[in-house]
């Protein structure tokens, strides 16, 4: 009788359609908050930041900020009077802030989506900008994956997250869904809405968020004592 070997692991990929799927998922979780969080976290790593942390809610982020006066806070949330922070802007994270300082991120949808994956084996962050890097990482180490569109945790009308999630599924299956996804996102009107609400950096943020493959980092988040510690899973010093 010939020896039987277990089948090789596969990239079994699914997209979450409600929050409960993320909370109970035990495989690889991939968070997509396309317009801001995903690109901002990638940009912070690309800029050379060595200390990047994600928080599920403002109270945790503000507590960390009060302990570390030299840390930079990135958030689109109104955190109250006197709170010194940057907007949740990929452009600012990449080009307009000091990479030598710790960076703390708390957002309406991306950071709660990441924190929801409490049982996940690992948590990655994806966007068009790091599609090839994420695909390369996942294909080199296949595991069942749940792609979590962050709009599930804030506003379902932010359809770009779901569209990007579908495109990432295709990317992981060896197909290029980016052109069609980009067309759908523009047709949705969301790009114009975002830029109208972000006159300072909105146009430059969109130029980064909608460009495929120009960032090489694969943010990986590990939550400990309320803080999501971010490292670059694709980096030479990334831990296995």
Query: pLDDT tens-digit profile of 155-190?
Result: 999 999 999 999 999 999 999 999 999 999 999 999
Assigned CATH topology for domain 13-231: putative 2-phosphosulfolactate phosphatase (3.90.1560)
Residue 235 confidence (pLDDT): 81
pLDDT in tens, 82-131: 999 999 999 999 999 999 999 999 999 999 999 999 999 999 999 999 99
Residue 237 confidence (pLDDT): 46
222 by DSSP, 3-state: which? Answer: strand
pLDDT grade, residue 236 (50/70/90)? low
Torsion region of 125: left, alpha or beta (phi above 0 gives left; psi -120 to 50 gives alpha): beta
Examine the pLDDT at 240 and tell me if it is beyond 70: no
Q: How many CB atoms lie within 10 A of CB 140?
A: 8
Residue 238 confidence (pLDDT): 44
Contact between 113 and 127 (Cβ < 8 Å): no
105 by DSSP, 3-state: which? Answer: strand
pLDDT in tens, 2-12: 455 444 445 59
pLDDT in tens, 183-233: 999 999 999 999 999 989 999 999 999 999 999 999 999 999 999 999 999
Strands 219-224 and 145-149: unpaired
E strand spans, 72-210: 72-74, 103-105, 122-125, 145-149
**What is the residue extent of each domain of the chain?**
13-231
Looking at the DSSP bridge assignments, the partners of residue 232 are 219
In the chain, count H helices and then E strands: 10, 9
* pLDDT (average), residues 65-77: 96
Contact between 111 and 229 (Cβ < 8 Å): no
Looking at the DSSP bridge assignments, the partners of residue 30 are 124, 147
């Amino acid at each position: 009788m010939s020896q039987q070997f277990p089948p090789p692991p596969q990239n079994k990929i699914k997209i979450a359609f409600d929050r409960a799927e993320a909370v109970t998922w035990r495989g690889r979780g991939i968070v997509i908050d396309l317009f801001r969080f995903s690109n901002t976290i990638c940009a912070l790593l690309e800029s050379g930041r060595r200390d990047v942390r994600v928080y599920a809610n403002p109270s945790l982020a503000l507590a960390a900020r009060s302990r570390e006066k030299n840390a930079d806070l990135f958030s689109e949330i109104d955190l109250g009077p006197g709170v010194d922070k940057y907007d949740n802007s990929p452009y600012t994270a990449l080009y307009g802030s000091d990479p030598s300082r710790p960076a703390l991120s708390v957002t309406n949808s991306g950071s709660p989506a990441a924190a929801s994956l409490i049982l996940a084996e690992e948590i990655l962050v994806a966007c068009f900008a790091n599609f090839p890097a994420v695909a390369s990482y996942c294909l080199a180490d296949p595991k069942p994956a749940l792609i979590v569109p962050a709009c599930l945790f804030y506003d379902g009308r932010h359809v770009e997250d779901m569209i990007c999630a579908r495109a990432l599924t295709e990317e992981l299956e060896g197909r290029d869904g980016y052109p069609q996804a980009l067309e759908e996102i523009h047709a949705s009107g969301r790009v114009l809405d975002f830029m109208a609400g972000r006159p300072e950096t909105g146009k430059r943020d969109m130029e980064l968020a909608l460009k495929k493959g120009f960032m090489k980092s694969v943010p990986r988040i590990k939550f400990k004592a309320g803080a999501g510690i971010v490292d670059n899973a694709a980096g030479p010093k990334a831990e296995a």
